[in-house]
Amino acid sequence: MGPAATADFYAKLIRRTPATRDQDHLRVAIWADPTVPDRVAGVIDGSSQPYPAMLAGALRLRDLGATLVAMPCHTAHVFLPELRADTGLRFLDMVEETLTELAGRPGSGGAVGLFGSRGLVHSGLYQDRLGRAQLDVAVPAEPTQELVDLAIRQVKLGDAHAGAEHLRRAAHAMAEVGVSRIVLACTELPLAAACLPSGEPGELLDPTDLLAAAVVRECLSHETSDAIAAIPRTS
C-alpha cells in the first residue's frame, strides 16, 4: 500500500510493455489502499488484521472485470492462497517468478541473500520455497536486518537516497559473509537500490521488475485485452 512502490511497479509495467503508441499498452486497474492494517504485524503476531481489507480490494477489482492480478508486496504473498480461494481470481505469484529467475541463472552459486520485512522473514515463505528449489538462503543477522528495516522505512518516509545508504551497508555486511546475490524482497527496496552508486557489492535482484515482466508475458501469450489489475501493496 505504499504509493512510491505502487508507482514504481506501474512504471516498470509500462517499460516492459512492447508499445509504440498509447493503444498498445495494457488496460490496468490499480487498487491502492494505504489504510490496510500493517501486514508485518499481521504475519508476526496477529496483532493487526490486514486480510479483510485485502480481500475487499481484490473483490472490487473482480467487480471491475479484472482477470489477472499482480500484487507487488512480498509480505502480502503470505495471504495469497486465501485470496485465490476467496475470490477465484488468477493471481500471479511474485515469489515464484523470483525463484524461476534464480534457478535459470547459469553459474550463480552460493547462498541467496534475503532482504525483506521482518514479517516476510518470519513467515519463512522464501526460505521454504528456496529450499524446495534446492537453493540455499542466507537470512541477515540482526544488525543487518536492522539496516534493511531502516532502508524500507526511509523509502516510506520519501527519502530513497537515505534508504540507499542503509541498503548499501546491509549489502556490504552480506558480502562480508560471502553472500553476493540478494533478493530485494520488499517493494520499497528497489527504490532505494536505484539510488545506489555503481560498483556496489553483490547482485541485487528486483522481483518488482520480474512481476511486471510476468504480467506482460501472460497478457501477450493469451492475446487478450482483458483488464489487468494490480493491488499495489508494500511490506
For 7-32, the pLDDT digits (tens) are: 999 999 999 999 999 999 999 999 99
99-113, 138-152, 169-183: the lowest-pLDDT one? 99-113
Confidence of residue 107 (pLDDT cuts 50, 70, 90): low
Cβ pair 28, 230 in contact under 8 A? yes
For position 200, what pLDDT does the model report?
A: 76
Other Cβ atoms closer than 10 A to 59: 15
CA distances to 68, 69, 211, 229 from 64, in Å: 12, 12, 21, 9
- Coil, helix or strand for 41? helix
List the domains of the chain with CATH numbers.
3-94+209-230 (3.40.50.1860), 105-207 (3.40.50.1860)
- For residue 40, pLDDT over 70 is answered with yes
Residue 228 above 70 pLDDT? no
pLDDT in tens, 172-226: 999 999 998 999 999 999 999 999 988 777 799 999 999 999 999 999 987 544 5
**Cα separation values, 71 from 9, 78, 102, 132, 146, Å:** 10, 11, 20, 23, 25
Instruction: Answer whether residue 68 shows pLDDT above 90.
Output: yes
**Average pLDDT score, the chain:** 92
Global pTM?
Answer: 0.92
Binned at pLDDT 50, 70 and 90, residue 104 comes out as confident
